[in-house]
Chains A and B, each alone.
Chain A
Amino acid sequence: MLQCPISTIMGKTLYQKVWDAHTAGTLPDGRTQLFIATMYLHEVTSPQAFAMLRELKLPVLHPERLFATVDHIIPTDNQSEPFADPRAAAMLNELRRNCQENNIRFFDLPSGRQGIVHMVGPELGITQPGMTIVCGDSHTATHGAVGSIAMGIGTTQVRDVLATQTLAMSPLKVRNVRVEGTLRPGVTAKDVALHIIGKLGANGGLGYAYEFGGSAIESMDMDGRLTLCNLAIEGAARCGYINPDETTFEYLKGRPFAPKGAEWDAAVERWKSFASDADAVYDDVVIIPAEEIEPTVTWGISPDMNIGIGGSVPAPEAARDDEGRKAYTTALEYMKLTPGQPIKGLPVDVVFIGSCTNGHITDFRAVAPYLKGRKVKPGIKALAVPGSQMTAVQCEEEGIAQIFRDAGFEWRLPGCSMCLAMNPDKLVGDQICASTSNRNFKGRQGSPTGRTLLMSPIMAAAAAVTGTVADAREVFDIQ
C-alpha cells in the first residue's frame, strides 16, 4: 500500500517545524504539551510564579534553561542600592532570592549583562533559531527575529514552565506578511511595523503567528528584525518570526552563549533546517510594497492609529465601522487633537529613545550622526536609554553616548524606563512624548493623562531638535 503522509507532500512553515520538534504529547483536553527550550524571567511577572511553585512544593525542573534579568522597575538615573522606592527594591530582591535558591542564571546589575530581557537574550546569543522561547512579557515576540517561536505568557504559565518546562498550548495559524521592494531613505523597521499594524489593525493578527518575509525584510539587519518582531504583538499576533539566514548566523556567531567550534557548524545546519520550505502552505498571505511606507507616527491610543508623517489626524468618519468611529472619538478626545490637523508641527514636551523596541546599538548608531552638532530644543526633556549594559558600553566606546549628551539628551542607565513607567521615568500631566517605545495606550507612560506618539529613533531625534513632530528626512537632509 502506498504510504504518503501529508507532511511529505506539502512544505512546512518554520512555525510548524519548531512546534513539531517541541511537542511532548497531547493533553486530555486536546491541547499540545509544548516543550519550552528557553524561558526568560524578570522581576514583575515571576515572583508570584515562584510563590505558587513553593505552595505546590515543586522544584524548578530545568534551571539550566532559565535566564533572568531585572528591567521594568529599575531606575535609570541612579542604580545604587537601596533604591528610593522600597517596592522596586523588594521586587529586585525577590528575584535575586528566587534565582539563587533555584540555581537560575541571573544577569544582575553588577554582571555587566543586565538590561531589558528582550535585548539581553539576543545580545548574549541565548536566543537561537528553532527554539521555543517564552517569558512573562508580551514583547517576547521579539526573539522570533532569529527564527524561533517566541511568545509572551502569564504568570501561572511561568509557574507551569518552572515546574514542567512545558506549556499547554494550541497552535496558531500562520500569516505570511511580505514586504517587497526597497525601503525609501529615512524609513526604518519601526515604520514598517507601524505601517503593517495600521493596515491589518491592532486586532488583525488574532489567532495568527506572523512570518515576516519579502526582500525588504530579508535585507534588514538583525536589530531591525528584532524591532519588527517586537511589534508583532501590537498587531495582535502573539508571535512574529523571520526565517534564519546568513544575517542571523553572522549576528549570533561569537556571542557568549552561541555554540562554538565544530558545534557551531552543526548548529547552523540544524538551524537552516527550521526555515520555512519554499512550498510551505500559509493560512494567509499579505503583500505590502516597501515603497508605500513613509516615516510613520501614531496619533491615537492604539498602535494601529497611525499615519505617514505627511498625513493629517483623521476624523472619526474615516474609521472602518461604528466601533472604530467610537474608538477614534475616544482617542481624539484623549489626545486633544482635531481632525484634519497635520501631525507634522505638533509640539512635543518629552522625547524618549529606548525600550525593547528601539534600544539597540543600531538605533543609537542611526541617530548619532544626525545629532552631532545639533541641540535638543530648549524646554524639551529628552531621554536616551540604552536597552542593555552591553549596548551602553558600546555606545560609550563608539562615542555615541557623548554625542547624545552634547546634544542635550539625558543619557541614562539601561532599563525599560519610560516605555511603561514602572520606574521614576514618567510623563507629567498631559505631556506629549515622541517615543520610540511600543505602546501608545492611555496612561502608558506613567501619567493617566499623558500622551504618546510612537515613531522611529530618527523621527524622535528630529522631534527633539525641532520641538515638534517633524519629518526626519527634512530636518536631517536624508535623501
Chain B
Amino acid sequence: MPLTKIISISGKAVPVAGADMDTDRIIPARFLKCITFDELAGTMFYDERFNADGSSKGHPIDAPQHAGATIILGGENFGCGSSREHAPQAIKRSGIQAIVAETFAEIFFGNSSGIGLPCVRASREDLLRAMEITTAAPDTQWTVDLESMTLSCPAASFPITMPAEPREALMQGKWDAVVELMNAPEAVAHLAATLPAPSSK
C-alpha cells in the first residue's frame, strides 16, 4: 500500500505552550482503556481543556478562532513521559497534521514519525513569535514545509529542523518502516540463529 508523501502541511495553528508537555497531559491514562485507537479523536489534552464537570477551561484548542487548526505550536521536551502511542494517535485523529516545538522527547518523536505525523523543531524565539502571530490573528495560514525546512506564513518565515532519516522517510512516503524491515529476511534470520534467546529449558 503506497503511503502519502508528506512534504508540506498548511493550515491554521494552535498554541499549546509550556515546557515538558507530558503524554499524561496529552492523553490521560483513563483514555488508554481500549483495544483500538478508533475512539481517541477529541481526547487530546483532555484534562488541560476541561474541568471535572466537563466545563471548558478555555484552552486555545477549544477557542472558536482556532477551530480546524492543523498545526500545534509547542514548547520544550514536548511529549515526554510515557511511550503511549495513544498520544500522537489522539493528536492525529483530532485533525492535527504537524507539530512544531522547541524539542521533542525521543519516543514521542519516533511514534509520531511512524504514523506520518511530522514533528519539527524551531527556536524558542521563533516559536514565541509564531504563537504571538497566531494568537493575534488566528486565521493566519501557516505552512510547515519539509522541502525548504521552514515554518512560514504570509508575514514571517522561520527555519525548522528535523533529523535527516525521518525527514527522508516522510518525504518519500516511507514513514511506515515495516515494509523496509521485511526486505532483509536473511540478515534477520542469521541474527536470530546466532543471538541467544531466553529459555527456561
Contact = CB atoms under 8 A, between A and B. Distances in A.
Interface stretch (B104-112, B136-144, B148-156): B104-112
Given A157-B114, A326-B18, A420-B29, A152 B188 contact: no
A361 interface: no
Contacts of A165: 188, 192
A302 B178 contact: no
Given A155-B85, A202-B77, A206-B106, A441 B19 contact: no
A29 B169 CA distance: 6
A168 B83 contact: no
A153 B181 CA distance: 16
A422 B32 contact: yes
Given A24-B187, A94-B35, A152 B83 contact: yes
Interface in A159-215: 159-160, 163-168, 170, 172, 202-203, 206-207
Main secondary structure of the interface of B (DSSP, over half): loop
A443 B174 contact: no
Interface residues of B, number: 63
Contacts of A38: 197-198
A154 interface: yes
Please classify how large the interface on chain A is, using the bins under 10, 10 to 19, 20 to 34, 35 or more: 35 or more
A31 B88 CA distance: 21
A22 interface: yes
A166 B178 CA distance: 9
B5 interface: no
Interface string A309-332: 000000000000001101100100
| Interface core residue of A25, A91, A163 (most chain B CB under 10 Å) | A25
B95 to A, nearest CB: 20
A27 B177 contact: yes
Interface string A33-64: 10101100000110110010000100001101
Interface of B: 17-20, 22, 24-25, 28-30, 32-37, 47, 52, 75-77, 80-86, 88, 103, 105-107, 110-111, 114-115, 124, 163-166, 168-169, 172, 174, 176-178, 180-182, 184, 187-188, 191-192, 195-200
Given A163-B178, A164-B181, 4 more contacts: A156-B111, A238-B106, A323-B76, A442-B22
21 contacts: A24-B184, A33-B188, A85-B33, A94-B35, A138-B82, A140-B83, A153-B107, A153-B111, A154-B110, A155-B86, A156-B85, A156-B115, A160-B181, A206-B103, A302-B22, A327-B19, A330-B18, A441-B25, A442-B22, A442-B47, A448-B47
